[in-house]
Amino acid sequence: MQGTEYGDPSLEQSMRLELRQLLLEDRPLKVYCGYDPTATDLHLGHTITIRKLRQFQDLGHEVTFLIGDYTALIGDPSDKNKARPILSKEEVRRNAQTFAEQAFNILDSEKTVVRYNSEWLSEIGFIDLIKLAQQFTVQQFLARNNFALRMADKEPIYLHETFYALMQGYDAVAMKADVQVGGTDQLFNIVVAGRKLQQSMGLQPQVGIVLGILPGTDGEKRMSKTMGNHIPISSSPEDMFGKVMSIPDDAMDAYRRLATRYSPEQINRYDTLMESGEKHPKDAKMELASEITEIFWGTEQSEHAKSHFETVFQAGALPADIDDYHVSRDSSLIDVLVDCQFTESRSAARRLIEQGAVKLDSVKILDINTKLGESDNVILQVGKRRIINLVIDV
């Protein structure tokens, strides 16, 4: 139950007791979480639920990584102040191709069942949909916070958006789930829709493991590729470390609780040290970045990323959150300066180098024939304000 948030102590207690009763049955529980492939990459926010799945997996339970290829056609309205654009089947299929592969950075691929909810949702007919809808009232949907806010703002609420909760609830029915994992934005879909539909069909209602939402690198809004505040799990160790270092200090508590392997005791100790002033926020954030990077890249790569950050960012007094720019390894420095629009022409690029205005990893470059070297990442700086992280492609 670590990391769970229900917003209601009685609901939390109920879920805790029901989970305990299931565990006393002494059998592997059917546990799942669904992921709509509305984008190509998973980010750190997605991994909060994936890591919870891994905990169940390590304890011997049956874990399903559900790709919502059918729910993605509608798009989840739970955290949105306007309707999502409807994706085509081709877009969804293309996005879904990399999802499971990326999830196996955390899950045990040999013990994970991967399913697509088109398997059963594509078979639902209109009569079936009416029967599902009979279980709910319009008032239940309109009372949801995001719909209520949209009504107050005179933003349209489209009828198809109410289908999403029915579809997700039916996922739990089709898989005869014991436990569904999800974020707090899924509370209605999991605890109301899913459980009610299961009960209406004579099944034992699932336990909802509802987890907090990880804020993005801005520390305010939820992590989202659309918002540009995300940390891709496919990014390099250096990039991941640097992006964690860029989060505001007051977001560290959420990252410690949700994105690390820290025990409750370790988290409480951090809180005590921070409150007493014994632990400086900068040191705590370095440890946090090391921990998160190590989860995905291992100890050696995490230590290298930390060293890279200390050398390049701290010694050179550079900002932690720098945009990436992909270049080929055989690109010349002059070509790169022009391509990333740091200068208007090759002749202007030459002058900048000769004047000592160009640095690579904080080292001043004076040779116009300089190549980018063997590193996979290098920080290009022109003056004090133009800075970019060059990601070297083979």
User: Does residue 232 lie within any of the structural domains?
Assistant: no
Domain shared by 121 and 199, yes or no: yes
Q: Give the DSSP letter of residue 250.
A: G
User: Is pLDDT of 80 > 70?
Assistant: no
User: Does residue 231 lie within any of the structural domains?
Assistant: no
Domain shared by 88 and 180, yes or no: yes
Beta bridge partners of 232: 43
Domain shared by 255 and 347, yes or no: no
List, for residues 362-394, the tens digit of each pLDDT value: 778 888 887 776 666 788 888 766 888 888 775
List, for residues 9-44, the tens digit of each pLDDT value: 999 999 999 999 999 999 999 999 999 887 777 899
Between 61-75, 166-180, 194-208, the lowest mean confidence (pLDDT) is in 61-75
Q: Which of 290, 314, 338 is the last residue of a domain?
A: 314
Between 2-11, 49-58, 68-77, the lowest mean confidence (pLDDT) is in 68-77
What CATH number is given to the structural domain containing 338? Answer: 3.10.290.10
What CATH number is given to the structural domain containing 65? Answer: 3.40.50.620
Domain shared by 302 and 339, yes or no: no
Residues in contact with 98: Cβ distance below 8 Å, sequence separation at least 6, in sequence order: 40, 41
CA-wise closest residue to 351 among 335, 339, 368: 368
Domain shared by 135 and 170, yes or no: yes
Domain shared by 309 and 334, yes or no: no
Contact 280, 316 (CB under 8 A): no
Between 327 and 121, the more confident residue is 121
User: Does residue 1 lie within any of the structural domains?
Assistant: no
Domain shared by 332 and 301, yes or no: no
Domain shared by 33 and 163, yes or no: yes
Q: How confident is the model at residue 121 (pLDDT cuts 50, 70, 90)?
A: very high
Q: In the chain, how many domains are there?
A: 3
Percent of the chain at pLDDT > 70 equals: 92
Q: What's the whole-number average pLDDT of the chain?
A: 86
What CATH number is given to the structural domain containing 276? Answer: 1.10.240.10
User: Does residue 221 lie within any of the structural domains?
Assistant: no
Percent of the chain at pLDDT > 90 equals: 39
Domain shared by 192 and 329, yes or no: no
List, for residues 237-263, the tens digit of each pLDDT value: 988 998 898 898 899 999 999 999 888
Q: How confident is the model at residue 81 (pLDDT cuts 50, 70, 90)?
A: very low
User: Is pLDDT of 314 > 70?
Assistant: no
User: Does residue 120 lie within any of the structural domains?
Assistant: yes
Domain shared by 307 and 328, yes or no: no
Domain shared by 274 and 333, yes or no: no
List, for residues 268-289, the tens digit of each pLDDT value: 999 899 888 888 888 999 999 9
If one counts every other C-beta atom within 10 angstroms of the C-beta of residue 383, the result is 11
Q: Which of 263, 280, 314 is the last residue of a domain?
A: 314
Domain span at 295: 237-314
User: Does residue 224 lie within any of the structural domains?
Assistant: no
User: Does residue 384 lie within any of the structural domains?
Assistant: yes
Token pair, residue 146, equals 């995001």
Radius of gyration for the chain, computed over Cα atoms and rounded to the nearest angstrom? 24
Q: Tell me the C-alpha distance between 10 and 301, whole Å.
A: 44
| 3-state SS class at 214 | coil
Q: Which of 211, 227, 262 is the last residue of a domain?
A: 211
User: Does residue 112 lie within any of the structural domains?
Assistant: yes
| Whole-number pLDDT of residue 13 | 96
- Over residues 357-361, the mean pLDDT reads 83
Q: Which amino acid is at 318?
A: L
Q: Give the DSSP letter of residue 51.
A: H
> Given its phi and psi angles, is residue 341 left (phi above 0), alpha (psi -120 to 50 degrees) or beta?
left
User: Is pLDDT of 340 > 80?
Assistant: yes
Domain shared by 198 and 50, yes or no: yes
Token pair, residue 274, equals 């921070």
